[in-house]
């Protein structure tokens, strides 16, 4: 009778894996996916940068259109959600099921706050006339931040599903790969926002 063993998820450098066969393929798959997401968002940023000089020749600069302090608060919210996500993973790794579940829920809540703030911002610039149809800046900005917002939305659904499983005791020190991979995705979404906030809003 064949014996099936669970994949070894050792984070210690003393027991660093020596070959691909000792890596968790689910984590490897997620890192590969995140690499492809870098290319995806890179292409959107490239599109924005190519058209940026043309945008500012006929329209206002982002500093005149966008509310930088308000977006700074959104950046802070997303940063805090990264903290709650990593605290959730840490709690589940140490078998603190209730604490881990609460942090997962907090992460999802902060993500929803962020999306709410984005919705307010989108409606504001639409009222000022910067839409997908009639403004080059509107197209570049809304496509980029719209795709990012979609990623945040998918992350929130994933977080809520992890929360429901964590509440039922599905994650513990022997099995935390679910929130770990969800955490990788969520932190990547935060990294993309760091890039967007700096390169679109501040520059």
Partner 1 sequence: MAQASALHTSAGHADDQEIKTHPKPRFYISIFFVLLVVTIAEVIVAQDPLKSMVTDMGVPLLIPLFALALFKGLTIVMFYMHLKMDSRVFSAFFMVGLILAVSMIVTFMGLFTAHYRLPFDQEAWRQSLEEGATSSSASAATGTTAGGGH
Site for partner 1 in 140-159 (CB under 8 A): none
- Stretch of residues binding partner 1 (CB under 8 A), selected from 75-83, 122-130, 136-144, 149-157: 75-83
Q: Which one of 65, 66, 77, 93 is in contact with partner 1 (CB under 8 A)? A: 93
Residue 113 sits in the site that holds partner 1 (CB under 8 A): no
Q: What are the structure tokens assigned to 130, written together?
A: 């910067």
- Stretch of residues binding partner 1 (CB under 8 A), selected from 104-112, 116-124, 141-149, 189-197: 189-197
Burial of 133 (0-12, 13-18, 19+ CB in 10 A): exposed
CB of 120 to partner 1, least distance (A): 18
Choice between 11 and 127, CB closer to partner 1: 11
- What is the 3-class SS of the chain, one letter each residue? CCCCCCCCCCCCHHHCCCCHHHCCHHHHHHHHHHHHHHHHHHHHHHHHHHHHHHHHHHCCCHHHHCCHHHHHHHHHHHHHHHHHHHHHHHHHHCCCHHHHHHHHHHHHHHHHHHHHHHHHHHHHHHHCCCCCCCCHHHHHHHHHHHHHHHHHHHHHHHHHHHHHHHHCCCCECCECHHHHHHHHHHHHHHHHHHHHHHHHHHC
Choice between 126 and 176, CB closer to partner 1: 176
- Stretch of residues binding partner 1 (CB under 8 A), selected from 50-58, 113-121, 124-132, 135-143: 50-58
Site residues for partner 1, 10-39, by CB under 8 A, read: 10-17, 20, 23, 27-28, 31-32, 34-39
- Stretch of residues binding partner 1 (CB under 8 A), selected from 5-13, 105-113, 124-132, 137-145: 5-13
Residue 134 sits in the site that holds partner 1 (CB under 8 A): no
Q: Which one of 26, 45, 112, 160 is in contact with partner 1 (CB under 8 A)? A: 45
Residue 202 sits in the site that holds partner 1 (CB under 8 A): yes
């Amino acid at each position: 009778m064949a014996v099936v063993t669970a994949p070894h998820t050792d984070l210690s450098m003393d027991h660093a894996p020596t070959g691909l066969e000792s890596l968790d393929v689910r984590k490897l798959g997620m890192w590969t996916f995140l690499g492809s997401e870098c290319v995806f968002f890179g292409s959107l940023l490239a599109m924005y940068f190519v058209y940026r000089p043309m945008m500012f020749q006929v329209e206002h600069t982002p500093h005149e259109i966008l509310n930088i302090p308000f977006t700074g608060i959104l950046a802070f919210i997303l940063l805090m959600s990264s903290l709650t996500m990593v605290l959730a993973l840490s709690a589940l790794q140490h078998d603190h099921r209730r604490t881990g579940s609460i942090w997962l829920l907090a992460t999802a809540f902060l993500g929803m706050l962020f999306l709410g703030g984005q919705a307010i911002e989108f409606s504001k610039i639409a009222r000022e006339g910067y839409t997908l149809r009639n403004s080059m800046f509107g197209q570049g900005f809304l496509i980029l931040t719209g795709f990012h917002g979609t990623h945040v939305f998918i992350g929130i659904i994933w977080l809520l599903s992890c929360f429901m499983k964590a509440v039922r005791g599905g994650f513990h020190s022997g099995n935390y790969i679910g929130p770990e991979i969800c955490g990788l995705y969520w932190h990547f979404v935060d990294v993309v926002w760091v890039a967007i906030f700096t390169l679109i809003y501040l520059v």
